[in-house]
Amino acid sequence: MILTTDRYIDTIIIHCSDTYPHMDVGAKEITEWHQDRGWSTIGYHFVIKKDGTIETGSNLDIQGAHCFGYNTNSIGICWVGGKSMNNTPVDDRTKAQKKALAALCVNLQAEYPNVQIKGHNELSNKSCPNFNVEKDIENFDMYLFF
């Protein structure tokens, strides 16, 4: 997994796929959804599956399509899940997803020391990623040792 790019990166933006608990999708399926919308490829740079597998989406050299107004200098990470069976937003991340997200963000911060980590909900009127990213960052050390 390549974590570097010549693009100037100042923000990591966390998303959820807005999928039901029984849907174990990944970058392949999300790519298809985005292409069905007319996009050339997946809008995210990384996808974190329920088992904690981190899949590569768009190459980091390519500007993402994940957060209007912030795509130029950001990296988009999407965790799979986020929708309850009654269609309400939910933080249903698995332990493996929390650990993988923390590890990926820590590694990206090493590459981009001044990067800010934000939730899509901090930069839009969406609920995605359905948890408080700022508060969650405080638990990264704990997540890494699950």
Q: Which of 15, 34, 45, 98 is catalytic?
A: 15
Q: Which of 45, 118, 128, 143 is catalytic?
A: 128
Neighbours of 21 (CB within 10 A): 15
Q: Is 43 helix (H, G, I), strand (E, B) or coil?
A: coil
Residue type, 30: I
Query: Residue-wise pLDDT tens for the chain (146 aa)?
Result: 777 788 999 999 999 999 999 999 999 999 999 999 999 999 999 999 999 999 999 999 999 999 999 999 999 999 999 999 999 999 999 999 999 999 999 999 999 999 999 999 999 999 999 999 999 988 888 887 76
CATH, domain range 11-144: 3.40.80.10
Peptide bond into 113 cis (omega under 30): no
Q: Which of 34, 44, 66, 105 is catalytic?
A: 44
Residue 44 appears among annotated catalytic residues? yes
Q: Is 86 helix (H, G, I), strand (E, B) or coil?
A: coil
Domain ranges of the chain: 11-144
* Global confidence as pTM: 0.95
* 97 close to 81: Cβ distance less than 8 angstroms: yes
Q: Name which of 95, 5, 94, 88 is nearest 45 in CA terms.
A: 5
Residue 45 appears among annotated catalytic residues? no
Degrees to nearest 5, angle at CA 75 with 123 and 112: 110
Q: Which of 45, 49, 50, 120 is catalytic?
A: 120
Residue 78 appears among annotated catalytic residues? no
